[in-house]
Every structure is written in structure tokens, then in C-alpha cells.
Amino acid sequence: MLRRLSGAEYLVGQLLYGSGLRITEAVRLRVQSIDFEQGQILVRDGKGAQDRITMLPKVLMQPLKEHLLRVKDLYQVDLRKGFGHVFLPNALACKYPNAAQEWIWQYKFPSSRISENWGDGIMLRHHKSPSTVQKAVRDASKSAQIGKHVTPHTFRHSFATHLLEAGYDIRTVQELLGHKNVQTTMIYTRVLNRGAKAVHSPLDSL
């Protein structure tokens, strides 16, 4: 499945399986969300308005750095044209009025076009639409002739299942997935209590 994806959709798919992200969490990642030195991803305002830290697969570090170089080129072109703004939550926008044009707040997976922000009319480059990734996954599933219903969320389920099969503790997996209740994680199975940095991503085993 992953090998049949390409471009940014390939990277997003790898993050869903390699880090256990939800599709909306992946496309909303900001430049500063990934800590390459610590090998971690900071997920802000995930489901239930919760923040969490999950792993960054080692095999994704270089591809993501190269991807960011291309994103930065696009950002600099936008700046020269008088754009370069991204959406920020109201509290952040008020506290840091210039942050919307700063590099660290740019989306890691930007949209291919600039569009008007609803409400204030500011022209922004939003993040990639989840539907774009969903379509790419559907097409990849058909190409791979997989006889099951496959969505981007399938990668997240596989992330959890494969960690549990590898013997990791259920509460570690719960933390990485961002589940409030361990009962939600229990649908996958059992496992060894280690922190996010000690867990090896299943993507690194491919």
C-alpha cells in the first residue's frame, strides 16, 4: 500500500502508519511540530483538544527534511508575492500577531493553492486537504488489489496492532495514540511500559 503512494501523500501515509497519527493530525502538522533531534512529533490539539508526543520513525527523518526544503521554497515564493500567511487559532493569533507569517508556523503539508480564509478574507495557504490523501489511499488500495475496505485510518490501526504484537505495553500504545481511555486501546491487545523515545516505529522495520 505505502509503495503505491507518491509525493506528499506517501509521506503522510508513512506518518499514519509509522507514528500512529490521525489523518487530520498529520495534515495539520506545523514545521515546528517535528523535533528531529529528539525523534519526536508533537501533536497539538488532537482529538478531544489534547496535545501528545509520539515517535518519529528514523527512516522518515531525511525524507521529511528534504520535503521541508521544498515547502520552504514555496513559502519564500509566497512571501515575495505578499502572501505567506497560515491559519492560527484566535488565542495564538492575538498573542503573536506576526506568527502567521513565520516559518515555524507554516504547515508541513501545505495546500497546492492559496485561498481566502473564511471570516476575515485574508489569503492563506491552508494545509493539504484530508480528502486528497483519502483519494490517494483508495487508488493505492485498488492498485494493490486489496480485497478489504482501506482508509487512511487503517494505517493508524495497523500501527497500534503491530506495536502490540511486538510486545509493547498497552498503556504506552494508549499514550502514543492519544486515547483518553485505555479501554479504547484494549481493542488491539496486550504489551511493556516504555516511553515514546524507547519504542521503535513499525515503519522502521519495513
| Residue 30 annotated as catalytic | no
Residue of 108, 125, 128, 179 marked catalytic: 179
Residue of 4, 44, 47, 162 marked catalytic: 47
The radius of gyration computed from the CA coordinates of the chain, to the nearest angstrom, equals 18
| Residue 194 annotated as catalytic | no
What does each C-alpha distance from 58 to 35, 192, 197 come to in angstroms? Answer: 12, 21, 11
The one-letter amino acid at 180: K
| Residue 149 annotated as catalytic | no
Residue of 95, 153, 194, 197 marked catalytic: 153
Among 102, 119, 17, which Cα is nearest to 59's? 17
| Residue 52 annotated as catalytic | no
Cβ-contact 152, 16 below 8 angstroms: yes
The one-letter amino acid at 137: V
Bridge pairing between strands 52-55 and 115-116: unpaired
Residue of 10, 75, 107, 188 marked catalytic: 188
| Residue 113 annotated as catalytic | no
Residue of 28, 85, 128, 156 marked catalytic: 156
Q: Where are the alpha helices (DSSP H) in the chain?
A: 7-19, 23-27, 61-80, 90-95, 130-143, 152-165, 170-177, 182-185
Residue of 10, 22, 52, 127 marked catalytic: 22
Which of the residues are catalytic? 22, 47, 153, 156, 179, 188
